[in-house]
Amino acid sequence: MKISLNGQLVGKEQAVVSVFDHGLLYGDGVFEGIRVYGGKVFLLKDHIDRLYESAKAIRLEIPISSAAMIQATKDTVAANGIGDGYVRLVVTRGAGSLGLDIRRTSHPQIIIIADTITLYPAEIYENGMNLITASTIRNHPAACPARIKSLNYLNNILAKIEGTDAGTVEALMLNHKGEVAECTGDNIFILKNGVLKTPSPDAGILEGITRNAVLRLAREAGIPTQETTLIRHDLYVADEMFLTGTAAEVVPVVSLDGRKIGDGKPGPITRRLLELFHEFTRRVDA
């Protein structure tokens, strides 16, 4: 396996960063996770734009242009012969002395890993997923905003642990107002009376790239969409529910907190959107 480290393709053993890197010491950095379908990096420009926005939000200046980052990503995928897989881009703050001051750091580290991806079991796409609501709420937007895809994922990890303890592979997170936000690594959608609904970015969520693609595909298919405030009541009485994310793609949800959603089976519009999404990933220009 070849890893891209600061523009050089090196072997796994040579791909190392300092123990003084603030990415490790403080979770100070940003990342992206991107799918590769048929050797093409899916929605690469959208992911690179979000990476640079996340970096800007934490006052981290990425030392190369976004065009160079795009090229380095494609080169890393090609060097590893990845057909269908996954790319992880990481930019750390770089090494510095102990202490939070970013002025004491230098040389942000740019890491690109191209690998295969572990998927949810096929059974989940057929029969749907069970979810619980975590008691850990999503970060307050005035703390570290969820819009930033930062290396500090403890908020989500704490919620994920609650899910794992309860026997689910994902967990729903509410925001500081008690409204539905998103899951630990996926956005959430419901269908109610034929309308596709999902929380808007101001609910304090990561504005998922899969989410945006699914909203676009739904509109093109004539399904009305709404980005709106949702509370758990809306979820409990929904006709259908599903999650979206780079790793998950589109996953049906059939129960929340032990309550059956709709008739307890993946819904017809969810199945249709899943098909439309797969078709989209195969389009050459995607």
Q: Active-site residues: which are they?
A: 149
Q: How far is the CB of 247 from ligand PXG (least distance, A)?
A: 5
User: Nearest approach, Cβ of 182 to ligand PXG (angstroms)?
Assistant: 5
Side chain identity at residue 135, one-letter code: S
Q: Which of 230, 255, 265, 243 is nearest to 132 (CA)?
A: 255
Length of the chain in residues, anyone? 286
**Window contacting ligand PXG (CB under 6 A); options: 5-13, 128-136, 244-252, 254-262:** 244-252
Residue least distant from ligand PXG (Cβ): 33
Q: What are phi and psi of 74, to 5 degrees?
A: -60, -40
Task: Determine, following the binding rule CB under 6 A, whether residue 186 of this chain makes contact with ligand PXG.
Answer: yes
Task: Please enumerate in sequence order all residues whose Cβ is within 8 A of that of 215, keeping only pairs 6 or more positions apart, or say none.
Answer: 196, 198, 225, 227
- DSSP H helical segments within the chain, as ranges? 22-26, 44-57, 66-79, 122-127, 154-165, 209-220, 232-236, 268-282
User: Which stretch in 68-76, 158-166, 182-190, 196-204 sits in contact with ligand PXG by CB under 6 A?
Assistant: 182-190
* 108-147 footprint of ligand PXG as x/- string (CB under 6 A): ----------------------------------------
User: Using CB under 6 A as the criterion, what x/- string covers residues 196-235 for binding ligand PXG?
Assistant: ----------x-xxxx------------------------
Mention every residue, 6+ apart, whose C-beta is less than 8 A from residue 235.
Answer: 172, 180, 188, 190, 241, 256, 261
Binding site for ligand PXG (CB under 6 A): 33, 156, 182, 185-187, 206, 208-211, 244-247
